[in-house]
Chains A and B, each alone.
Chain A
Amino acid sequence: MAKAAVAAGPYAERRGRTRDLLVRYPFAREVLDFYGALLGVQEQAHEEARLARPGARDLVAYVAEMVVPAVVDVSMAAGPLKLREALASRLETTDPRDLVAAWVQGKEQVMVDRYLARAALGPVLEALGSEAAASCIGVRDRRHCPSCGGPPQLSYFAIPDEDLAAGGRFLLCARCDSAWGYARMTCPGCGEDSSSLLPIFSEEGTSSGERGSVVRGLQGRLEGYSDAERKAVFPHIRIEACDKCRHYLLNVDLAADPAAVPVVDELSALPLDLCARERGFSKITPNLMGF
């Protein structure tokens, strides 16, 4: 199914991180095992699309014919029972082109349709770049992807280029995986920028002050603080919520874990999603695995 691994690139990074997180987050094994299997198919689709370079007008047909069957195969082989059953029943009655077209057009979809379209289209859009992304339908504003108009899946803080600097915030597109800069202390769901309406939820002990470190990202520590206070499960991920629109997304701080690959780490942070939902927030857009 999957070709031999490419040594570098986004898919090698995602595969490596998936392996690391399987060890670190055994509770997410079911999701990460499946995602690891899917990555093989996505990487192959990415590579083939890079060579075939289908035009924007043929995008939907290309994805439906060349990528969807492999995504269906891997999902039937490695996916959970409910996904397998839902896929089998949907494909009996629905043309895959309609599923992919709905995702390209930004229409509301049931979860299984969206999963299939998203898993198949994502690597092709990544491979083809801006021209293909421009053919997708969606709002082009600060809160949506400037390339394809897709919604933000997550946000992350980039690694700063200096020790005493804080990295900028970026949003990552749920549809084409492009990243764009976005202001901190501003809700990516509704644009609210009053910080009293933007609660942040994170594990205790993960801020630099609680660790006894004066400067975020530097190792130095004042006396009286122990490593025990740093034993957080997600030292680098926090929930960024909005009391105005009641949405949230997860933020990955790459300065706190430079090895993190935001799209993979976000998939593994299901306990934080549960915390956010418990507090009445819903994610701006569910991730590939539906959380």
Chain B
Amino acid sequence: MTGLGFDVAFAESTKVKQNLRIAGAKESHSICPYCAVGCSLVAYTRQNSDGSVQLLQIEGDPDSPINEGRLCPKGATAMQLAISPRRVASPQYRAPGATGWTIVSWDFVMGKIAQNIKASRDATFVTTDGNGNTVNRTEGIAFAGGAAFSSEEGYFATKLMRGLGLVHLEQQARV
């Protein structure tokens, strides 16, 4: 190691090395979830001692012929989807007439949404239009998808909502 005789640098560097907090990580190929371009990503992850995997960094893959390292502003922030500290970590409910949100369980939320969908659909379901055509549609519910929807989530949401007879679907896909 000190083949040419840099003994002082070797000794000093050994001291510095002892104080470095070095951690192992690995890079993996991935694909941006957001749109049909399918930009390639490099995801940088670390396995913690408890076995959990920590996502450390996402960037465009410079070796990809699709995006050559580039990402749009939405894809470049894909990591926020996984680790943003601003993300709401549990479901919240604001009761009719209430002024604030309360933290509730997933069971409560699923039950509440199902009940509300059933009640609104039953109350507003239209089987035929004014001309007697069969339409079978739910006019009392509209659906808006979020900006962080992946392509697959958007596909699934559309299938589900069309199945319920919704006609008013919107997706905020471009932010």
Q: Mark A20-42, 1 if CB is under 8 A from B, else 0.
A: 00000011111100100000000
Separation of A30 and B7 alpha carbons in the complex (Å): 9
Q: How large is the interface on B (under 10, 10 to 19, 20 to 34, 35 or more residues)?
A: 35 or more
User: Which residues does chain A contribute within 8 Å of B22, judged by CB atoms?
Assistant: 201-204, 239, 272, 275
Contact B76 A80 (CB under 8 A): no
State A166–B69 Cα separation when bound (angstroms). 5
Q: What per-residue 1/0 map shows which CB atoms of A241-273 lie under 8 Å from chain B? A: 000000000000000000000000000001111
Bound Cα distance from A157 to B108, whole angstroms: 49
Is the CB of A289 closer than 8 A to any CB of chain B? yes
A57 within 8 A of B: no
A222 contact from B56, B57, B84, Cβ within 8 A? B84
Cα A272 to Cα B56 with chains together (Å): 20
B25 contacts A200, C-beta separation under 8 Å: yes
Bound Cα distance A162, B67 (Å): 12
Q: What A residues does B55 contact at CB under 8 A?
A: 209
CB of B116 closer than 8 Å to a CB of A: no
Q: Is the interface of B mostly helix, strand, loop or mixed?
A: mixed
Asked if residues A164 and B13 are in contact (CB atoms below 8 Å), the reply is no
Nearest residue in A to B7 (C-beta to C-beta)?
A80
Q: Which of A115, A157, A195, A198 contacts B4 (CB 8 A)?
A: A115
Contacts of B86 in A (CB 8 A): 222-223
CB of A6 within 8 A of chain B? no
B114 interfacial by beta-carbon distance below 8 Å: no
Q: In angstroms, how far is the closest chain A Cβ from the Cβ of B79?
A: 6
Q: Check if B98 is an interface residue, CB within 8 A of chain A.
A: no
Chain B nearest Cβ from A78, distance in angstroms: 12
Measured between beta carbons, the chain A residues less than 8 angstroms from B163 are none
Q: Does A88 contact B (CB under 8 A)?
A: no
The stretch from B58-66, B99-107, B119-127 touching chain A is: B58-66
